[in-house]
Amino acid sequence: MLHAPSLDGGLGFCHEALLDLLPAGYHGPLVIALDTSVLLDLQQHGNQLLNGETPDVEDRYRKELEGLGGLIDLWLIRDIRFVLTPRVLSDGERITSRQIDRREAAMDALTTALVFQRGTWRDLELPPHALVPIGEETGLSHGADRDLVLEAQSFGAHVFLTRDRALARKVRLNGPALSVLTPSILWDELVIAGVTHLSGGICQSGNCPYDGWPFVAPDMGRWGPFMSIFD
C-alpha cells in the first residue's frame, strides 16, 4: 500500500525513467525516509523554502536547502511519500522532552498527510518500537545514523535523505536497494531526469499505471498536516 499508485497521491515515478533510484519494474510513489537533520531543516526553514526563498547560510548548506525546497515544491503535486522512522525520536545527545514531543508531532503529521493519499494507510501506521532490520550496514559506526538507515531500508523507502554528506559517503548497505542521498543530489537527479510537476520520471509504456493518467490534482488534504511541521 505504501508503494501503490493512487489518484489521490498524484503522478508517481517509474524505474525506467529513474534507473538508479527505483527497483526494476517499479511504477509508483517515490518513498523518502527523512534523517533527523532533514526534519530539523523542515521545521526551521520549511516556510521559507515553500515560498521559494533560501535562508542566508553558507554556500554548501544553502545548496542543500535549495534542493530540499525543490523537493517540497515537487511534493505538492507529485506522489512523493515522506516518512519518519522511530529512531528519529531518540536521535541526539542532549535531546529534550520538548524536542521529542515535536518530533512525535511531526511523525503524526506525516502519517496524517499520507492518510489523505491512501484511505487504507491506517494499516501501515508506524510501530512504536524500532523496525527490525532486513539488511546489513557496515560503513557507519554503531549509533543513530546506522539505525536510521536500516529502518528506512526495512520500511521499504527508496531514498534515505540526509544532510550529512559524510554519512552518505560512508554508508555500505546490503539487502534491498536504498539510496542514501543529500537533498541537493536527489534534486539534481530528478532535474536531470526531466521531472517537473506534470511530467517526467515516468516510463510511458503500455503497462504503466501512469499511462493515460488523468491530470487530476492530488488530494490537497495532505498539505495542511505536512506544513504543520514548519515553525
Contact residues for Zn ion (CB under 5 A)? 14, 27, 203, 208
Please identify, using beta-carbon distances, which residue of 15 and 102 lies nearer to Zn ion: 15
Specify the DSSP class assigned to residue 159. E
Which ranges constitute the DSSP H helices of the chain? 36-50, 59-75, 97-115, 144-154, 165-170, 183-192, 223-227
Q: What DSSP string runs through 16-35?
A: TTSTTTS-TT-EEPEEEEEP
Q: How far is the CB of 33 from Zn ion (least distance, A)?
A: 22
Q: How far is the CB of 210 from Zn ion (least distance, A)?
A: 5
Residues belonging to the chain: 231
202 close to 21: Cβ distance less than 8 angstroms: no
Q: How far is the CB of 27 from Zn ion (least distance, A)?
A: 4
Please identify, using beta-carbon distances, which residue of 14 and 178 lies nearer to Zn ion: 14
Given CA atoms 26, 31, 37, 40 in this order, what sign does their dihedral have? positive
Q: How far is the CB of 172 from Zn ion (least distance, A)?
A: 30
**Whole-angstrom Cα Rg for the chain:** 17
Please identify, using beta-carbon distances, which residue of 14 and 159 lies nearer to Zn ion: 14
Please identify, using beta-carbon distances, which residue of 12 and 70 lies nearer to Zn ion: 12
Please identify, using beta-carbon distances, which residue of 126 and 208 lies nearer to Zn ion: 208
Q: How far is the CB of 15 from Zn ion (least distance, A)?
A: 7
Phi, psi for residue 77 in degrees, rounded to 5: -115, -40
Q: How far is the CB of 19 from Zn ion (least distance, A)?
A: 12
Give the separation between CA 182 and CA 165, rounded to whole angstroms: 7
**Cα–Cα–Cα angle for 93, 97, 133, nearest 5°?**
60
Please identify, using beta-carbon distances, which residue of 181 and 203 lies nearer to Zn ion: 203
